[in-house]
Amino acid sequence: MSRVHKIFRKFYKIGLVLFLAIFLLFIFDEIQNLDIKRYLSEHYISEGVQETGAINLVTSVLYDYRGFDTLGEATVILTAAATLSFMTPIKKVKMLGTEFTIIIYQTIIIIIPFLVVLGMNLIFFGHISPGGGFVGGVILAMIPILVTINYGITFSENKLKPNHKSLLEGIGAIGFILLGLLGIFAGSNFLASGQANFGLGNPGELISAGLIPYLNLMIGIKVGAGLAAIFNSLIKEG
């Protein structure tokens, strides 16, 4: 009886998934055939460079047209770090001790400067080439993560203390909001850059696009510090 029951449950799950999949297939198929207006994305593509000064369209949407969403997303990362640090139980499990060869230890030291350069490049050139604060922050967060994996959590936390990470995270977030407030002080609305007559410069130059490069920097700091904190709080208890 229990075997029949088991088989039934398995087929029931598969059937449910299949049913939903076929249903969605029909819906998407119907959507494909509709005639859809795209005036918003067309406006971003055709006017984005003039209006925001950023050549990278993703950046112009992320940090100018919809900068407020970015602030919310950055806050989600901060709260996710807090959630993780609470949800990892206090019980200590012995971590798998991995000993690497000397080659790896030495290579890490060589790699780290390159990672710094790459991350910084992605952040600072976020508005004129592919990249941006989120990506750059992830690359920068890889440095403490690599150090943690190779030299252990104690060494890594000694080099970059958890307090400093949360300080950096706070500075990034506060900086983002303060930069946004500049728009209000300039007589326009929150997070206005081109609209508040901050010089957009010549699109393509490093100092251009109004507030976008600075917002990029703040998000980079915040994401980098946040991800490093998340990784450490996961591995500490693991």
Distances (CA, A) of 68 to 88, 160, 200, 216, 230: 31, 30, 20, 13, 23
**How many residues of this chain bind another protein (CB under 8 A)?**
53
CB of 115 to another protein, least distance (A): 26
Is 163 one of the binding residues for another protein (CB under 8 A)? yes
**CB neighbours of residue 28 within 10 Å:** 9
From residue 10 to residue 49, what is the string marking binding to another protein with x (rule CB under 8 A)?
A: -----------------x--xx--x-xxxxxx-xx-----
72-80, 129-137, 151-159, 199-207 -> range binding another protein (CB under 8 A): 72-80
**Whether 145 contacts 157, CB under 8 Å:** no
Rounded to 5°, angle at Cα 161 from 164 and 225: 50
Q: Which is nearer to another protein, 126 or 194 (CB)?
A: 194
Is 185 one of the binding residues for another protein (CB under 8 A)? no
Alpha helices per DSSP H over the chain: 2-32, 39-52, 57-60, 67-87, 102-124, 133-151, 153-159, 162-185, 212-237
**Residue 105 in 3-state DSSP?**
helix
Chain residues binding another protein by CB under 8 A are 27, 30-31, 34, 36-41, 43-44, 64-69, 71-73, 75-76, 78-80, 82-83, 86-87, 89-90, 163, 166-167, 169-171, 173-174, 177, 180-181, 183-184, 188-193, 195-196
